[in-house]
Amino acid sequence: MERSVQYKLLLEVKGTEIARTKAFDREKALIQAMRLFWRKGYAATSIEDLIKTLHLSRSSLYGTFGDKRTLFLEALKLYSERVISGTARTLNESPSPIDGIQKVFDDLVAGAGSETGALGCFMVNSVAELVPYDPDVTKIATTYADALQRLFTTVLTQARSQDMLTKKQTPEQLAAYVFNMIQGMRILIKSGATKEQVQAISAITLQSLQ
């Protein structure tokens, strides 16, 4: 191989590596920003907090993510995608539609009394803080609610076809009910509800679907 070609290849490989490292660092920093906004809320998080937590200079922060609001919206979208894909995975991997919903509830109940549970849901927190005054947050929240309710509607429609579901309501209505239950639980757990209380709420909800 000619030396110049070898050199070019080496440069290409190095370039890809640098790009990969940069992408990795960006995602890592975005996750750190998500955790910070989740814990502190939008208004209470300062640019100084972000600089300190993300280990970035002010100019790198603005260069990589734009201003505080742009970074917040990207962090909230990342959270939304993670919850939606995590819920889809849980539902898909479960032996039956109702087992899937039970598993989603069980994961919530497990958070009661823990530090993660006390953080609440980043989406619920952001809705409480910023909707309806921020139209971009409202849009992300609506997309999130629609996507999760669609997932629940799909499994509840399967449950209906297997004759495992009450016929008093449509799968769409029951999906809204399940989603409402989850949003409530995130607030209750944040307010300090015990595992037993949340467990009982989960049991009543599951029972009323059948």
Q: Is the Cβ of residue 29 or residue 112 nearer to a second copy in the bound state?
A: 112
Buried residues in 81-103 as b, exposed as e (16+ CB within 10 A): eebbeebbebbeebeebbbbbbb
Tell me how far, at minimum, the Cβ of 115 lies from a second copy, in Å.
9
- Neighbour-count burial of 207, counting CB atoms closer than 10 A to its CB (0-12 exposed, 13-18 middle, 19+ buried): exposed
Structure tokens at 121: 């849901």
On whether the CB atoms of residues 209 and 165 are closer than 8 A, the answer is yes
Structure tokens at 170: 């449509």
CA distances, 58 to each of 40, 50, 52 (Å): 20, 9, 10
Which residue number, 64 or 118, has a Cβ lying nearer to a second copy?
Answer: 118
Least CB distance to a second copy at residue 90 (A):
19
Judged by CB, which is closer to a second copy: 19, or 128? 128
Smallest gap from Cβ 31 to a second copy, in A, equals: 21
Summarize as ranges the residues that interact with a second copy (CB under 8 A): 41, 43-44, 118, 120, 124-125, 127-129, 131-132, 138, 141-142, 145, 168-169, 173-174, 176-177, 179-185, 187-188, 190-193, 197, 200-201, 203-205, 207-208
Residue nearer to a second copy on the CB measure, 87 or 125: 125
Tell me the closest approach of the beta carbon of residue 134 to a second copy, in angstroms. Answer: 11
Q: Residue 64 or 170: which CB sits closer to a second copy?
A: 170
- Alpha-carbon span 23 to 208, nearest angstrom: 46
